[in-house]
Chain A
Amino acid sequence: MSHKLLINPIYTSFGIKEKHLLQECIHCGFCLPTCPTYIENGKEMDSPRGRLYLMEAAMNGEIDISERFFEHIDLCLVCRACETACPSGVQFGKLMEITRDVTHSVRYKSSVSKLISNFILSVIIPSHGWLSTIFKLGWLYQKTGLHWVTKNTFMKNILPAKIRNINESIPPIPFKRFAKNNVQTFHAIGEKKGRVALFTGCVMDHLFPDVHAATIRILNWNGYEVVIPSDQTCCGALHVHSGDGKTSKQLRDINLSVFSDRSFDIIILNAAGCGAHLKQYKQENNKDNPTYPFSKKVKDLTEFLATVPLRNPEFPLYLKVVYDEPCHLIHGQGISVEPKQIIKSIPGTTFLSLIESDACCGSAGSYSITETEMSLKVLERKMNHIASTGADCVVTANPGCQIQLQWGMNRKNLSMEVLHIAELLDRAYQKSNGYPLP
């Protein structure tokens, strides 16, 4: 069952720095009840403290780097709830990234799945053209009714469980994608207060072009000119979580050069996962490095809006709203108050509290595909909490969470709307005189 590796990459790669990072854990266990995987199965190895213990044991050569080890490393959602809970400031996310990175090459030596996963991560994801083609096919798949057939007829029982879950969770793919052929500029409405760049990411261009459009309108309406550099690419977060540090660094360098134009005051993101990753670009480097001003400029949309005099929506939007906090916003970037303030600023909306709003929904990048069983358990818990609120609408601030929550709604036959916070604010603005039409 468990194949032992001949060399222990953690043993050889972890140095003083990593040892020091691990030593910051004082084994207090404060993180345990916040960890979704520990809540589900109650096992210490699937808790943050346990995973750190395993990393340290591996570093000291006390345990084998076997499939048994990876089982617990892989089951981590990297939601980083443990970081928020930790009184000692343990950088869990970083340690997990390092662990996955140093074990990656040895683990997937020449397997077919490695080739496929490599191809997807290093060729398809970073390419706007490749993604366009794939999503076009996806659009056709849904429009021709084939998707309906595989979801609703006997066909679904033929598909292996994993494929079936992926198939069912695909959200409706819009025909129009967010085009990035040339550098585009969207002008401020009224007095111009500044110039910002929009980081548009990879998959979002194709699945959520409306969220980008809403983001641009909101920024324009508040006096900001929005520039979209055309050669920008995927942030590389998916790659780091999968242990592919090499491609991730290549993508980083592309983005750094694309965004090196100093005339942007700010680089705005509406995807929490990418934001948390872009902000980390700086961690590997010091002040003299080109990443430094870049990472300083990166701001989540809600974070940025909290720092400017935001135009209040004039007309009420009668909605009961709950806010589900994306892990990479609250735990990854420490942003939690700002989005709530934005929602509360909309006249007519009732902000309802949501139990465990700061817990992961189980999406976690490709996690819902690789660890479907746990992902579904985590989602189930989340949906039960959401359902008990009686809200009309769940707002979040990350595309991955949107897909996952929408899937949760479908599975439970709930009719609540799932919205990105930019879509909600945009909708509130829409009745105002002079606000651009979608």
Chain B
Amino acid sequence: MAIDSIFISNLLSLLGENRVITHPDELIVFECDGLTLHKQMPDAVVLPKSTEEVSEIIKLCQTNHTPFLARGSGTGLSGGAIAVEGGVIIQMSLLNQILKIDYEDEIAVVQPGVINLNLTNETSPDGYHFAPDPSSQKACTIGGNVAENAGGPHTLKYGVTANHVMGLKVVMPSGDIVELGGKIEEFSGYDLVGLFVGSEGTLGITTEITVKLIRNPEGVKTFLATYNTINDASNTVSKIIESGIIPAAMELIDNLVIQAVESHLKAGFPTKADAILLIEIDGVKSTLTEEAKRIESICLSQNAVNFQEAETMEERNLLWRGRKEAIGALGKVTPAFYTNDGVIPRSKLPEILEFDLDIGKRYGLEIAHICHAGDGNIHPIILYNPDNKNEIKHAIKISEAILKKCIELGGALTGEHGIGTEKLSSFGIMYSDNDQNQMLRLRKVFNPTDLLNPGKIFPEGAKCGESRINQTIKKGGWI
């Protein structure tokens, strides 16, 4: 969808030259987000500084029949911030203010461009934090977290973004500004906040978010359990949950990832281990010692060869840094990789890991694993060479097969990354035509012209004929 010069001059008079980007030599950097497999250049990028400007931009787009979508830091892994059909990207990076922090009601009001970790940094001296902690929390925006319903290691105990959003100010695809929810739980009427969180930016664009602030726990203990086989590690996960303990986080990391992390970041992971579990418990100090003992004995009963506690804050931070930057560290050992985001019932963890191993061998590609093991969200990472067309094809095939297997085992397509453009082809495995049609009808109510973020989630979503997504990989990213 090409845009004409009148439309551009309207944008320019609304925002000024500095906040409108239209030259292809600059637009090229917006052709992909954290998923570099799919690329499509937008026709323009604009940087609004207020809700009203967002509304005006949307109205201009509607009048001109131009597709539009919002983008945060572009760290998403499902292609959610790509302008599939061209059009305008509304870049939210200048809407980056924390508007209000209210400890009495334990809430904060933020603009969507606020970096996730900044809110925690801002409130931690006062003993609070923002609980959703995706690995990209150093860089991702809270607006993006809302769109994708982001999770993170501590989801296990604290829940995903949806559990932490109280209210939203949304600019609807018509340009109307609405306020949903507020600072108290609302139980009357439809739960539109619940509907918006995780809608992948296809129902409206948020410009203000009211989130819960969570009091920091009195005590935290972080453990590193080392295993000679990945099977023992995954059995431990079920055993711990069965015992009635709910850790704050429980992460499984395999040898390939350990190697990558240690080659660059040096977090203190044992390089000879086949797998490690990173387990964290938090709560009232007096109960933690007892829980720690129980966890240790479960780990040892499942053949852990070593079980140690992080002694200092620095040690704990380093272990978490190793975990959260693990995906990045893989860039050191492979020119490209593809991160899968399937979910399985926890008890099926050993089964899916074995399946991955087999299918990797069959196609001759290595697969590394980082799992939010506690809630069954797996991240098999398929390593491949981007200059080899066959390997690209195989990586995609492997990922699709793993997702199919997840569904067979009673799981889901995505734990936290969203469907985006990435999993369009697998959507039908999970949802029947009837299910999909029902969802599409809902989308039509909010987004009748389908100009807001078209081509996402639903395979039928791309209304204007064939999707223009360009599936070539010239970049060595985490596809």
Greatest chain A CB density within 10 A among B18, B21, B113, B328 is at: B328
Residues of A in contact with B (beta carbons under 8 Å apart): 23-33, 38, 41-45, 49-50, 53-54, 56-57, 60, 62-64, 66, 68-69, 72, 85-90
Check if B98 is an interface residue, CB within 8 A of chain A. Answer: no
Within 8 A of A (CB), among B241-298: 264-265
What 1/0 mask marks residues of chain B from 463 to 477 whose CB sits below 8 Å from any chain A CB?
A: 000000000001111
* CB < 8 Å neighbour of A63 from B25, B75, B328: B25
Task: Tell yes or no: B74 within 8 A of A by CB.
Answer: yes
Q: Which of A27, A68, A85, A86 contacts B26 (CB 8 A)?
A: A68
Most buried by B among A27, A62, A85, A89: A27
Excluding A30-B138, A43-B91, 15 further A-B contacts by CB distance (< 8 Å) are: A26-B330, A26-B478, A27-B478, A28-B139, A29-B34, A31-B139, A32-B73, A33-B138, A45-B21, A57-B25, A68-B26, A87-B264, A87-B265, A88-B328, A89-B331
Query: B28 touching A26 by the CB < 8 A rule?
Result: no
Min Cβ gap B122→A in Å is 10
B389 at the interface (CB under 8 A from A): no
- CB contacts (< 8 Å) of B329 on chain A: these are 87-88
B139 in complex: contacting residue of A30, A41, A62, A90, CB < 8 Å: A30
Return the contact of A68 from the options B25, B32, B326, B328 (Cβ within 8 A): B25
Which of A25, A42, A87 has most B Cβ within 10 Å? A87
A-B contact pairs, 13 of them (CB 8 A): A23-B336, A24-B332, A25-B477, A27-B32, A27-B475, A29-B34, A41-B94, A45-B21, A50-B29, A57-B28, A66-B25, A87-B326, A88-B330
- Find out whether the CB atom of B331 lies under 8 angstroms from the CB atom of A24: yes
Name B's A-contacting residues (CB within 8 A). 18, 21, 23-26, 28-30, 32-34, 36, 45, 47, 73-75, 91, 93-94, 96, 113, 115, 118, 136, 138-140, 264-265, 325-332, 335-337, 386, 474-478
**Do residues A87 and B328 form an inter-chain contact, with CB atoms below 8 A?**
yes
Expressed in whole angstroms, the minimum distance between the Cβ of A192 and any Cβ of chain B is: 37
Q: How far is the CA of A33 from the CA of B475 in the complex (A)?
A: 22
Task: Given A32-B139, A41-B18, answer yes or no on A25-B476 (Cβ-Cβ < 8 Å).
Answer: yes
Given A60-B474, A63-B25, A88-B328, A28-B136 contact (CB < 8 Å): yes
A31–B328 alpha-carbon span in the complex (Å): 11
- Let me know if B73 and A45 touch, CB within 8 A: no
Contact of A85 among B30, B47, B138 (CB under 8 A): B138
Judge whether A89 and B332 touch: CB under 8 Å. yes
Asked whether B23 lies within 8 Å of A28 as measured between CB atoms, the reply is: no
Inter-subunit contact A45/B477 (CB<8 Å): no
A25: which of B26, B136, B331 is its contact (CB, 8 Å)?
A: B331
Nearest chain A CB to B473 CB, angstrom units = 11
| Set of chain A residues within 8 Å of B113, measured between Cβ atoms | 42
- Whether the Cβ atoms of B75 and A28 lie closer than 8 Å is yes
4 nearest CB pairs, A to B: A87-B328, A88-B331, A42-B93, A87-B325
Q: Which of A42, A56, A62 contacts B47 (CB 8 A)?
A: A42
The reply to whether A44 and B91 form a contact with Cβ atoms under 8 Å apart is yes
CA–CA, A408 and B265, complex, Å: 36
Contact A56 B475 (CB under 8 A): yes
Interface pair A44/B74, CB less than 8 Å apart: yes
The distance from the CB of B332 to the nearest CB of chain A, in whole angstroms, is 6
Given A44-B74, A87-B328, decide whether A28 and B25 contact each other with a Cβ distance below 8 A: no
Q: A29's contact among B118, B136, B332, B474, by CB below 8 Å, is which?
A: B136
Q: Are A30 and B328 in contact (CB under 8 A)?
A: yes
Give Cα A26 to B115, complex, Å: 20
| Contacting residues, chain A, for B74 (C-beta < 8 A) | 29, 44, 49
Q: How far is the CA of A33 from the CA of B118 in the complex (A)?
A: 10
Whole-angstrom CA separation of A85 from B477 in the bound complex: 17
| Chain B: minimal CB distance from A287 (Å) | 21
Give Cα distance in the complex from A405 to B194, angstroms.
Answer: 48
From the candidates B45, B93, B325, B386, name the one contacting A30 in the complex (CB within 8 A). B325
Residue of B nearest to A50 (CB): B29
- Give the CA-CA distance A64 to B47 in the complex, in Å: 24
Docked Cα-Cα span, A50 to B91, in Å, equals 14
Contact assessment for B47 and A43 in the assembled complex, using a CB-CB cutoff below 8 Å: yes
B34: which of A24, A27, A64, A66 is its contact (CB, 8 Å)?
A27
Complex contact A29–B139 (CB within 8 A): yes
Bound Cα distance A43, B75 (Å): 14
CB <8 Å contact, A53 and B28: yes
Residue of A nearest to B24 (CB): A63
Which chain A residues border B93 with CB–CB below 8 Å? 38, 42-43
How far apart are B433's CB and chain A's nearest CB, in angstroms? 35
CB distance from B135 to the nearest CB of A (A): 9
Q: Which residues of B contact A42 (CB under 8 A)?
A: 47, 91, 93-94, 96, 113
Q: Name A28's contact: one of B47, B328, B386 (CB within 8 Å).
A: B328
Complex: A26 Cα to B332 Cα, angstroms = 9
Residues on B with C-beta less than 8 A from A72 are: 26
Chain A residues with CB under 8 A of B34: 27-29
Judging by beta carbons under 8 Å apart, are A68 and B23 in contact?
yes
* Distance to closest chain A CB from B319 (angstroms): 15
Question: Of all chain A residues, which has the CB nearest B49?
Answer: A42
Residue of B nearest to A54 (CB): B29
Contacting pair A26 B476 (CB below 8 A)? yes
Residue of B nearest to A44 (CB): B29
Chain B residues within an 8 Å CB radius of A68: 23, 25-26
- The CA-CA distance from A87 to B261 in the complex, in Å, is 9
Q: With a CB–CB cut-off of 8 A, which chain A residues contact B330? A: 26, 88
Residues of B with C-beta under 8 A to A24: 331-332, 476
**How far, in whole Å, are A421 and B328 apart by their CA atoms in the complex?**
35
| B476 touches which of A23, A43, A60 (Cβ 8 Å) | A23
The residue of chain A having its C-beta at the shortest distance from the C-beta of B18 within the complex is A41
B204 to chain A, nearest CB (A): 21
Rounded to whole Å, the gap between the CB of B338 and the closest CB of chain A is 11
Question: In the complex the two chains form, is A30's CB within 8 Å of B29's CB?
Answer: no
Contacts of A62 in B (CB 8 A): 28
Q: Could you tell me the distance between the alpha carbons of A35 and B414 in the complex, rounded to whole angstroms?
A: 31
Whether the pair A86, B23 counts as a contact (CB closer than 8 A) is no
Q: A49, A60, A85: which has the most chain B beta carbons within 10 Å? A: A49
**When chains A and B are docked, how far (Å) is the Cα of A26 from the Cα of B473?**
12
- Also in contact, A27 and B328, with CB within 8 A (given A44-B29, A44-B30): no
Q: How distant is B236 from chain A, measured CB to nearest CB, in Å?
A: 27
**Residue of chain A at shortest CB distance from B21:** A43
Q: Which residue of B lies closest to A22 (CB)?
A: B476
Taken together as a complex, chains A and B put the C-alpha atoms of A156 and B385 apart, in Å, by 59
User: A120: shortest Cβ distance to chain B, in Å?
Assistant: 31
- In chain B, what residue has the closest Cβ to A58? B25
| B474 → chain A closest CB, angstroms | 7
